[in-house]
Amino acid sequence: MIYLLPSISATLGAILSFSLFRSKHKEASVLASFLALVFSIFLLFEPDRFTAFFYVDSLSKIFLLMISSVYLGVVIFSIGYLEHSHGHLVKSCQYFSLLDIFVGIMLFSVTLNNFGLFWVSIEATTFATALLVASENDIAALEAAWRYIMIVSVGLTIGLVGTLFLYSSAHTLSITDLLSRQNQGSLFFLSGMLLVIGYGTKIGIFPMYTWLPDAHGKAPAPISAIFSAVLLPVSLYPLIRFFEVYQDPSLSKFAFVLGFLSVMTGSIMTLNQRLYKRLFAYSSVENMGLSLIGVSLGSYALFGTIVLIFTHAFAKSGVFMLTGNMLHELKTRKIEDVKGLIKIMPKTGLFLFFGALAVTGTPPFATFFGELLIVSKTINYYGWIVGVALFFFLMCGFLFINYRVINMVFNDETKPVSSAKESPFTFVPVIFITLAAFVILIVPIFYRFIEGVIK
Amino acid sequence: MEKEIFALVGFWEIILSIFMQWQAYTISNIKTFSVQSWILGIFLLWAGVFHGFTALIILALLTIITRAIAMPLYLGNTIRKQIYRARENKHRISTGLSILISLLLAVFGYLVYYLILAGYGQSLVSIPITLMLQGAFLIVSRSNAYSQLIGYLVMENSMFLLSFLFSELPFIVEAGIILDVLGVVVVAGLLMRVRDEDIEKEEELLG
């Protein structure tokens, strides 16, 4: 039950924000997110717990910590962000309430011991967040939200067929039970393929990623931040568990191909992006594709994935929050309209630069280490040609994104801006991107902590 | 006996979904979906009573309350406030062609079963697969938000038939699915009230 404390905090935050403390909804959400983080840190030191309903090991604890940290940052940043935004579809109290309930569901989902309930909770995050995506209430935002809810729901229906086949072949959906038996058979394999496609839709895997740039591009910056940093990895979580219970070379190849195509698409699409939020959205497609590759390969590539998504969570959420600053002050979403950011908004500019380096896997950020492990396992498993091709596309993403960001930050053709003052809440993305830089220092501790999961 | 009834239910579900393909009136599609859900709910209720499964009876009642009654009422109420959406004149695919594709999808559904799932001995599995494909086709062939949502709901109905055919999922999961779908419909309804699907090109959604 103690493993539900973070989720309960967030859910209470949602209830309080929406009902009893409507006038103090921001404070209620900050308190809820702070408590969720405290509980998540406390749970790191608690023993693993496996019951009929819960499956909490070190991986779940890392996810709890990652979700709670981003949650606190996003809630604090949202306070400043919403003050500058107008014409919202949802009121401020509804925004915080939906955000709290969304995080509550995610915190709940990573403690579960049931593939059926994974599906229920991942689908629940869809309708909990659709209105947040549409929050800006213009044509593009509403269209993005509609595409999000339809594509993801239909994709997850395929995941439900996979869950059904899993249950039919194994007669259980419990991770503990599935781990204790030999899982084989073509129906099991078919269920694995359908689960990869189904959850892949929510993760933003090729070819079902099309909702992702729209939703990330049009959602308010803090929502894009939490989507990219946490929602996508949480949707990957059931697949990590599935590959734990069922290791089949053909299924691994299937997931690898989809992951590879996602890396390829994500990195190439960054070349022709004209809007900075969409640029970073495609970077998420690339990172999630790489993460799926790591999951499919297992062993130290899986460790690489965990390091990658943990560092990516801090760096990418920081970057998206900074894009919120840019949008408020510069009133443009276009990359070409942003020049000399370092002069106009020094903190935003500098940390956007560092954040972009972090999300594109530049050393010494731990994303580099994670990518290195995944690429080296790819070479080890599929040979040099495939490994070099993967590295090539990662380099494309690295060059295209950083070229654009360097242009936005350091290009001297500064356009006159009347009053470009940075939000006082800029400290949140600054801390997040700084934390992303420090993750590399705790990698050995990380490894010892999660060793049992990696095998 | 149960297999024959299942086949009959599946047959009507498919016929009704093909009927949806050539319907231009969205409100008729909502009513057709309601009929589909009634058939599904009554079938589950009969199966629950026949086998003495309380969970199945509760599930059947939940299906009837949410899918056959609440969702159609909610969608009908929403569309009455947007009467210009009540008829969809411009289909992405012409009506004649969409009926032809629907029939081909029925054949394709059988082929999927024959080639992939025949080994599991469930010859009736082609019925939910066909229904699922019909729902997916309704989504891609229409631009009207209501039709797309109904397409999704048809897909979800097919899930219940599939679940019944293979092995019933645990009750907590099935109930969770019903609540999720209800949540999706409510939020989609809220979005539909403010969304205009006649946008041509939106610069912010390109690329």
pLDDT over 80 at A115, yes or no: yes
The distance of A171 to chain B (nearest Cα, Å) reads: 8
Find the mean pLDDT for residues B34-43. 93
Summarize pLDDT for B112-132 with one digit per residue, the tens.
777 777 666 667 788 888 888
3-state secondary structure of A241: helix
The distance of A209 to chain B (nearest Cα, Å) reads: 12
Say yes or no for a CB contact (<8 Å) between B139 and A150. yes
Q: What is the complex's ipTM, to 2 decimals?
A: 0.86
pLDDT over 60 at A151, yes or no: yes
Say yes or no for a CB contact (<8 Å) between B207 and A272. yes
Number of H helices, E strands in chain B: 8, 0
Cβ-based interface (< 8 Å): residues of B facing A: 116, 119-120, 132, 136, 139, 145, 148-149, 152, 155-156, 159, 162-163, 166-167, 169-170, 172-173, 176-177, 179-180, 183-184, 186-188, 190-191, 194-197, 199, 202-205, 207
Contacting residues of A for B166, CB less than 8 Å apart:
164-165, 167-168
pLDDT of residue B23: 79
Confidence of residue A264 (pLDDT cuts 50, 70, 90): very high
Name the percent of chain A lying above pLDDT 90.
63
pLDDT over 70 at A414, yes or no: no
Chain B contact for A214 (CB, 8 A cutoff) = yes
pTM to 2 decimal places: 0.92
Who's near B19: CB < 8 A, 6+ residues apart?
A: B32
CA-based nearest residue to A283, from A336, A361, A188? A361
pLDDT over 80 at B1, yes or no: no
Interface of A with B in 115-174 (CB under 8 A): 116-117, 119-120, 123-124, 126-128, 130-131, 134, 137, 139-140, 142-146, 149-150, 153-154, 157, 160-161, 163-165, 167-168, 171, 173
List of long-range contacts for A423-428, beta carbons under 8 Å, 24+ apart: A423/A80, A423/A81, A423/A84, A423/A324, A423/A325, A423/A328, A424/A80, A425/A76, A425/A77, A425/A79, A425/A80, A425/A81, A426/A322, A426/A325, A426/A347, A426/A348, A426/A351, A428/A73, A428/A76, A428/A77, A428/A318, A428/A321
Q: Which two tokens stand for residue A419?
A: 């009053």
Summarize pLDDT for B74-91 with one digit per residue, the tens.
888 888 777 766 777 666
Instruction: Judge residue A353's burial from the number of C-beta atoms within 10 Å of its C-beta, 0-12 exposed, 13-18 middle, 19 or more buried.
Output: buried
Confidence of residue A64 (pLDDT cuts 50, 70, 90): very high
Who's near B65: CB < 8 A, 6+ residues apart?
A: none
Q: Which two tokens stand for residue A130?
A: 């659709």
Confidence of residue A422 (pLDDT cuts 50, 70, 90): confident
